[in-house]
Structure 1
């Protein structure tokens, strides 16, 4: 497949579907637990993850991602799935126009065509879904095809030998030989699996 004709929107929606199913299982007593992202409690990680959907929606609307905080603000304990649903609607509307896939889009890693900006947010959504599942529903089965695509993106844009204090991911960690694609993605992005 030609990377310049790839449409990431269906896969982004699949990533959000997977995330939404998990958010429907969040309970209030889980919200202050630690996550694989050591700087975040589950509540913080949910805010960051749903905020990321708003951030890529803002980029699709023509904004610069650095102008938006990737956090949602106050969300009621049982409101995470509906909050994600509203963010998703915004993202769908923001990226509905096909011409936006080739428009220069400003994201944290640079100015890239919209299709590559959205591709990076697939990687983020899939990875944070794994992080959230470790607290909410360990053993969750993930979409392997989606994870393989996200892993390919991660390996291309975040090579193992280019991790330093300017990269918000730890060093690549080992993954078991029989690890799922989502677990391999988590390990590539520095999670202890």
Structure 2
């Protein structure tokens, strides 16, 4: 009996994180206080959250307990957000370069999963947060629709509407027209109102 090769999510993860990097690099200082569709986060806090997520991904890959890692990094100067993001991304790339990571179980704050499944989930989280950031700063036209297609296909496995609670980062799905673009449909599926 042959086993199926493990799906390698790293190339798609790199695209999603690269898109987030481009969005962060484009943020002007006067936009850091803008509200975002991600509840409780302005642009500054959302960027700090994405950096914190990278720290968690590197941490779980290194076998660390990340349950006490912060959800938002907030000790970065306003002019240093992109360099902090790049430093955290480099650490993730270093830790996850080993192919064995893809089959190794990693313990996240919300589940224990094979590495390739965990990295898939984080790939799609970065896609959504790129939309959050682009929506808050008016750069929606710069997003890669293929990443949203992948995320919209994956989220029913990671965040089905019936499992969401008032404590979840995702709210009830929002109705949008059938012909809405893929990022609008993705945001709406996760409970973000694209009209806000």
TM-score when normalising by structure 2: 0.90
Query: 1:187 & 1:21 partners in 2: Cα distance?
Result: 23
Query: 2:153 & 2:132 partners in 1: Cα distance?
Result: 19
Correspondence for 1:179: 180
CA RMSD of aligned residues (A): 1.8
CA distance 1:163–1:87, shift in 2 (3 Å): same
Correspondence for 2:103: 102
Query: 1:94 & 1:44 partners in 2: Cα distance?
Result: 25
> What CA deviation, in whole Å up to 9, does each residue of 1:13-39 have, x standing for no partner?
101111111111111111112111231
In the alignment, is the contact (CA less than 8 A) between 2:45 and 2:74 conserved in 1? no
Aligned length: 192
Q: Tell me, yes or no, if structure 1 residue 163 matches structure 2 residue 156.
A: no
TM-score when normalising by structure 1: 0.92
- List gaps (5 residues or longer) in structure 1: none
Task: Report 1:140-151 matches (<5 A).
Answer: 140-151=141-152
Shift of 1:166: 4.2
Query: 1:93 & 1:128 partners in 2: Cα distance?
Result: 23
Structure 2 SS opposite 1:105: strand
In the alignment, is the contact (CA less than 8 A) between 1:105 and 1:111 conserved in 2? yes
- List gaps (5 residues or longer) in structure 2: none
Shift of 1:4: 6.2
Query: 1:176 & 1:76 partners in 2: Cα distance?
Result: 41
Shift of 1:182: 2.3
Q: Tell me, yes or no, if structure 1 residue 91 matches structure 2 residue 96.
A: no
